[in-house]
Amino acid sequence: MSISNEGEWVNTSCNGCFSVCAIQVKAKNGKIIALRGNPDVPSSQGKLCGKSLARVADLYNPNRVTKPLMRTNPEKGLGIDPKWKEISWERAFEIIVKRLNEVRKRDPRELAIAVFEAPNSFITQAFGQAFGTTNYDFNNGGYCGSGLHTVFSHTFGTANSEIDIEHCERLVLWGAQLGHGANNNPTKAARNMAEAKKRNTRLVVIDPLLGNAAAKADQWIPIRPGTDGVMALAIVNLLLNELRIYDATFLKRRTNGTYLIGQDGHYLRDKKTNKPMVWDIDIKAAVPFDSIDPDKTELEGKFRIGAAGYETAFELLRKGVAEWTAERAASIAGVPVEVIRNFAREHGEAAKIGATIEIQGKTLPWRPAAIDFKRGVNAHKNSYFSCFSVQLINIVLGAMDVPGGLLGVNAFGPYGAWKAAVGEDGLLESDMLTAHARSNGFRKCYPANPTHVPETFDMEGLFPISGFLANLFHYSMSEPEKVGLDYHISALIVCRSNFLKSYFDPKSVASYLKKMDFILGFAIQIDETSEFADILLPEAHDFERYFLYPVNAPPAFIPPGQGDWYLQWIRPVVDPPEGARNWMDLLFEIADRLGTRDSMNEYLSTGVGLMDGFTLSAGKKYSVEDVCRRQVRMFGAVAGIKDPEKNLEETGMLRLYQKTLEEAFPGAFLEARIPIYLEHFIKAGKEVEAIAKKHKIDWLDTHFYKPLPTWHPCPSHTQTDDSFDLFLANGKAALLTHSINSENPWVDEISDLNPYCRHILLHTKAAKSRGIKDEDEVFVESEAGRIRGRVRVTECIHPDVVGTFGNGGGWARGRPISAGKGVHSNTLVPFDWSMIDPLSGQIDTCARVKIYRVEVSL
């Protein structure tokens, strides 16, 4: 390959984090000389973050891997030198093929593949399928979220969320950083957020740490980690039972709040149609939910039919949340009771229930108060219910997928590619994903998936209601018998994932990695996970290679709400250094040599949805560029765009069309209902219980399966050793979101100058009572491990919390710039089966810790 665009702006996208902002890059003499946001593409509008701009320096790091490497030290472990030896490509392929064939012959399912590169997981998927394994959806997704994505799937029909900032008057970011250097679509959201601040939009941030978003907030509410669900339930309680602020029209029309529930917890069903029943106000009788104008149904109340009593789902929710008083929440969450009360009142009033707005000549509901929530709420034991409880605030106020509210990230796809629609029992069901068309760990999750003893390492079968299971591999790989799996993983391919550092308790992860027979990795620099590889292949930077198309999948990376549909690409700007290759082309070549290429072509065609006329043929050796351009031509044909490749080269995107109002605000048009009462959990829970019993899966607490939200403490909340007297929290630093860039020399230096991001944060009072001073060297210790670092005494943290920003404290030899800088707080998070949320499969990131000074002996 040779690139001929000397000195001209090349239109591509940035892969510095997963948000793929459109960029223009200029090269001269094979070197990148300039980088800027693409002014004509909505994702960047000519602007970029510091992470992206700094990438000019990435390519010239002298520690880049440019030759295949073989480990010569058979011993593997944290900090152990692999003693790399350079080998020829031929030799490398020989070893890889021999080792993978051994696995394939024994049992192909023993191969697992890790990947965290959004559009390209279809490649690992197709490689895995052709090889004979379905253990290919494996990444470090412990951060973003099983509970979060599942709750969005159940309530929006899509897996992500953003606030409709443009029409919002009160924005709440709860454990989230939308528009402040993190989260999806960061560049566009940053601009929208700045415009909102100019309009004096109120911003409230709930977070244990005063991060970039909280710094800009009108109100910062510090909270104890893992207690978000309690505070949310208390707010729902205040809204429903005390303030009585809720959107009754919305609840009647768009939720299952009017469905009648029997004593057994199940819907009252129509004998003829089996449909859930509601109470008809006029005839005072139960009728099928879809046989009546929703306005004519009772939202509240108890009803007697024959000998049996029934209550509406809303009535049960209202009673159910009554136990979560503001006082109780205050004492658990460490938030003053009046702060919780004021929040409920202010937020309820700001939602302007009943208000409408005129957009494009149509009158739509307008709910200008919205709560977005992300990792801070999600990454805990009570993940599903905490996320669901926060989302309930949006739901009871009707602020769902309407102007000013929280928006699902594109529940409707362009050209009707997917949609949210009325599904089982009238509830929202999406055809975006099916149970078997998994992508990056996502799968469809309503109705509940079948339960069975797991056959794959994502533990599918044990988590029927969950829509995202990518982070469970580490547990099942460490002890497959605990899951009922009758085989183990003996070989790994690691593509673009440094899970040893980004997952929890590296000692535990290392202990099962050590047992693997064979690990193949791809590397630009040799990171912590790469140090466990047997063979490492040098890979190209994203400025040097193609990606599958499009790179900005609409369910995550096209902002929801009004705007255009547009599809970006990633194409090379410069040639990779001699020796480095696109990791996906390397997987193709391995498939060629394994004899699985024809089958991989077929799976890839299906996986990425190539239509007739564009499918990959057997017997042909396509490159990633070939596949990418084929996809581009297909999208061009669908959109009626002439010469789509030229179009992309010239503009950086294929612009499809302006979203319709229905696509922008589906909440105003949909009839499908959102569950406020999770009836289907009852059956799912019983099924899981039976399987767990039969297969002696004792760590899975099936008591979590309840139709009404509750709050379960994290293991850290119930820890009995009082000497661990503080909670651990980790936040995002704007310049370090996603740790791969910490090795960038500029990012490294600017991080050094930042007073917080490489220190251990301790509240002024907590420091004083422990005799700890600013810049003191300390140990932070949990039951899982100990880290050492310098203290920043600050007011920017909840008094009961020890905090860190970013994922520092790396130890990889191949990343000398950032090695040892900052602290690795994941070391403190226990690797323990009690950390798994039984509903969503999310891993808790909480830990109880103690902090003490490093005593220097003279």
Partner 1 sequence: MAGYAMVIDLDLCIGCNACTVACKVENGTPRKIFYSRVLELEIGEQPEVLRLFLPVLCNHCEDAPCVTVCPTKASHRAEDGTIQIDYNKCIGCRTCMVACPYHARSYTNKTNYYFDGTPIPFPDKPKPEKVGVVQKCDFCTSRRREGKEPACVEACPTRCRIFGNMKNPDDQINEMIASERSFQLLPAAGTRPMVHYLSKHKEKIRFSR
> Which residues are at the interface with partner 1 (CB under 8 A)?
28-29, 31-36, 46-50, 53-54, 56-57, 60-62, 179-181, 186-187, 190-191, 193-194, 197-198, 210, 212-216, 220, 222, 734-735, 745-747, 749-750, 753-756, 764, 794-796, 799
Q: Which is nearer to partner 1, 325 or 794 (CB)?
A: 794
CB-based contacts of 626, cutoff 8 Å, min separation 6 = none
Peptide linkage before 550 cis (omega within 30 of 0): yes
Name the residue with tokens 């911003």. 203
Q: Which is nearer to partner 1, 75 or 338 (CB)?
A: 338
47 vs 633 by CB, closer to partner 1: 47
- Reported in sequence order, the residue ranges of 405-517 that DSSP labels E, i.e. its strands, are 406-408, 420-422, 428-430, 491-495
Q: What are residue 371's phi and psi, to 5 degrees?
A: -115, 120
Q: From start to end of 448-584, where are the E strands?
A: 491-495, 518-523, 535-538, 564-568
From edge to edge, which strands make up the β-sheet containing 9-13? 9-13, 22-28, 31-37
Are the CB atoms for 196 and 171 separated by under 8 Å? yes
- State the nearest-atom distance from the C-beta of 573 to partner 1, in Å: 13
Please tell me the distance from the alpha carbon of residue 830 to that of residue 26, in angstroms, as a whole number: 46
Phi–psi pair at 160, nearest 5 degrees: -130, 170
Residue 651 Cβ, how far from partner 1 at the closest point, in Å? 20
Q: Which is nearer to partner 1, 309 or 755 (CB)?
A: 755
Task: Compare residues 186 and 225 and give the one whose CB is closer to partner 1.
Answer: 186
Minimal distance in Å, beta carbon 622 to partner 1? 33
Give whichever of 57 and 453 is closer to partner 1, judged by the CB atom.
Answer: 57
CB-count burial class (<10 Å; 0-12, 13-18, 19+) for 661: middle
Nearer to partner 1, 658 or 769 (CB): 769
Considering the complex, state which of residue 4 and residue 29 has its C-beta at the smaller distance from partner 1: 29
Two tokens, residue 430: 């999406």
Say whether 252 sits in a helix, a strand or coil. Answer: helix
Task: Provide the minimum distance between the beta carbon of 62 and partner 1 in the complex, in angstroms, as a whole number.
Answer: 5
Q: End-to-end alpha-carbon separation of the chain, Å?
A: 61
The answer to whether the beta carbons of residues 619 and 625 sit under 8 Å apart is: no
Q: Find where tokens 């692999």 sit.
A: 82
- Could you give the CA distance from residue 380 to residue 119 in angstroms, rounded to a whole number? 27
DSSP string, 204-231: EEE-SB--HHHHT-SEEE---TT-HHHH
The residue (of 688 and 793) whose beta carbon lies closer to partner 1 is: 793
292-296, long-range: CB within 8 Å, 24+ apart, which pairs?
294/252, 294/253, 294/258, 295/249, 295/252, 295/253
Q: Which two tokens stand for residue 141?
A: 């997704």
Q: For the CB of residue 194, give the shortest distance to partner 1 in the complex, in Å.
A: 4
> CB of 222: closest distance to partner 1 in angstroms?
7
- Per DSSP, the three-state class of 583 is helix
Provide, rounded to whole angstroms, the least separation between the CB of residue 785 and partner 1: 29
Query: Which residue lies nearer to partner 1 by CB, 47 or 683?
Result: 47
For the CB of residue 697, give the shortest distance to partner 1 in the complex, in Å: 44
Residue number with CB closer to partner 1 (417 or 750): 750
**CB-based burial of residue 95 (10 Å sphere; 0-12 exposed, 13-18 middle, 19+ buried)?**
middle
**Min. distance of Cβ 211 from partner 1 in angstroms?**
9
Query: In the complex with partner 1, which residue's Cβ is closer, 162 or 679?
Result: 162
Residue 221 vs 676, nearer CB to partner 1: 221
User: In the complex, what is the shortest distance from the CB of residue 763 to partner 1, in angstroms, rounded to a whole number?
Assistant: 8
Kindly state the helix (H) or strand (E) to which residue 9 belongs, with its residue range. strand 9-13
Residue ranges of the alpha helices (H) in 1-135? 50-53, 89-106, 121-131
Nearest-10 Cα torsion for 311, 314, 318, 321: 110
Nearest approach, Cβ of residue 658 and partner 1 (Å): 24
> Which residue, among 633, 587, 581, has the nearest Cα to 608 in the 3D structure?
633
Q: Kindly tell me the burial class for residue 166, based on how many C-beta atoms sit within 10 Å of its own C-beta (0-12, 13-18, 19 or more).
A: middle
Beta strands 518-523 and 491-495, pairing class: parallel
Task: Please say which residue, 194 or 854, places its beta carbon nearer to partner 1.
Answer: 194
Is the torsion defined by CA of 25, 26, 30, 31 positive or negative? negative
Query: What minimum distance in Å lies between the beta carbon of 220 and partner 1?
Result: 8
Distance of closest approach, residue 338 Cβ to partner 1, in angstroms: 11
| C-alpha closest to that of 429 among 449, 444, 443 | 444
Give the residue among 22, 176, 50, 23 at the shortest CA–CA distance from 735: 50
165 or 684, CB closer to partner 1? 165
| Distance in Å, CB of 855 to partner 1, minimum | 28
Which residues on neighbouring strands pair with residue 111, listed in sequence order? 491
Nearer to partner 1, 33 or 283 (CB): 33
User: Which is closer to partner 1, CB of 89 or CB of 746?
Assistant: 746
Least Å distance, CB 795 to partner 1, is 4
For residue 163, the minimal CB distance to partner 1 (Å) is 16
Minimum CB separation of residue 713 from partner 1 in Å reads 24
Q: Which residues pair with 406 in a beta bridge?
A: 163, 400
Q: Parallel, antiparallel, or unpaired: how do β-strands 302-305 and 285-288 relate?
A: unpaired
Q: What DSSP character marks residue 731?
A: E
Residues 186, 191, 195, 197, CA torsion sign = positive
Write out the two tokens for 223: 């909270």
SS3 725: coil
- Cβ(103)–Cβ(490) below 8 Å: yes
